[in-house]
Amino acid sequence: MAIRLIADSSSDLPKQFIEDNNIQIVPLTIIFGDEELRDGVDLTPSEFYEKLVNSGITPSTSQVQPDRFINAFKPILEEGDEVLCITIGSSASGTCQSAFIAKDEIESDKITVVDSNCLSMGTGYSVIVAANMIANGATIKEIIDEITPLTDNKIEHLFCVDTMTYLRKGGRVKASKAVVAELLNIKPILNVEDAITQPIGKVRGRKKIIPYYINHIENTIDFEANKFLSVAHSEDPEFAAEFISAFKEKFNWNKPIYISEIGATIGTHTGPGVLAVFYIKK
């Protein structure tokens, strides 16, 4: 009996890693006016950001419904395998609750659902840990014992938005503050607690973002606990590469770094130009 991983599309996992580890991704829905599109299925990240910038429509997101999880769980169980489903934090989306509803409806003890209490590659971080453990023959109990502590706000989500436009449109920042920030070229630095974003600092201009990140990481990362680093971006691979180069040089890092694109679920609220870094904190 194998352990099969399922995650929702908000996890922003690298495509190659998904394929290499046979991970099934259940998509959230992105709503543009009357148009409903499945994140990562009907809409790639690049297509999403082009539509976001050019359509003039402010999109919204819709959680995964229980039937999508049921349709994902059943074939795996019918093949005699076990399901490990890791979802976006329940404080941010009803997707997690839908996974639990699907589990209860199927009534199988071969389904384990984990609330990551994270966003984006914060969720993806636990999925990567689980996938690597599965590849090394770990049991479901060993995996749960390893990733459960990570759900207690142990994964740092360090990110910065390039524009306040989408936070303002989503009602996450007042219009007056957004206007002032844009005029002064202020870039807010944020992290996540209990799957909710919060500001932790700000810099003036993009050139100061990476130095801020390096300093923050130096003060907060648990180097021993981190077997890899995760970096995500929205339509800015050059900026991600610039950060990675600075990170490697500063910390003499020779462990894996997973690079991914921030998809439509998270990008709806942040827009293009985001640089995000995820790691285990002290």
Quickly state the pLDDT bin for 161 (edges 50, 70, 90): confident
Token pair, residue 218, equals 């130096």
Q: What are phi and psi of 193, to 5 degrees?
A: -130, 125
pLDDT at 168: 53
Report the predicted TM-score, pTM, of the whole model to 2 decimal places. Answer: 0.93
Instruction: Assess whether pLDDT exceeds 70 at residue 18.
Output: yes
Largest Cα–Cα distance of the chain, in whole Å?
58
Q: How far apart are CA 55 and CA 35, in angstroms?
A: 12
Q: How confident is the model at residue 162 (pLDDT cuts 50, 70, 90)?
A: confident
Q: Helix and strand tally (H, E) in the chain?
A: 11, 13
* Predicted pLDDT of residue 28: 98
pLDDT at 184 over 70: no
Distance of CA 264 to the CA centre of its chain: 11
Q: Please give the single-letter amino acid code of residue 98.
A: S
Give the range among 71-80, 190-199, 250-259 with minimum mean pLDDT: 190-199
Count of CB atoms within 10 A of residue 32's CB?
A: 18
CB 66 within 8 A of CB 106: no
The confidence band for 179, taking pLDDT boundaries of 50, 70 and 90, is very low
Q: Is the pLDDT of residue 169 over 80?
A: no
- What is the C-alpha R_g of the chain? 18
Identify the pLDDT of residue 166: 59
Q: What are phi and psi of 17, to 5 degrees?
A: -65, -40
What the chain holds in terms of domains, given with CATH numbers, is 3-151 (3.40.50.10170), 155-280 (3.30.1180.10)
- Taking Cα atoms as reference points, which of 250, 236, 232, 251 lies closest to residue 122? 232
pLDDT category at 99 given cuts 50, 70, 90 is very high
pLDDT of residue 182: 56
Of 5, 6, 38, 34, the residue nearest 265 (C-alpha): 38
Asked if 277 and 230 touch (Cβ cutoff 8 Å), the reply is yes
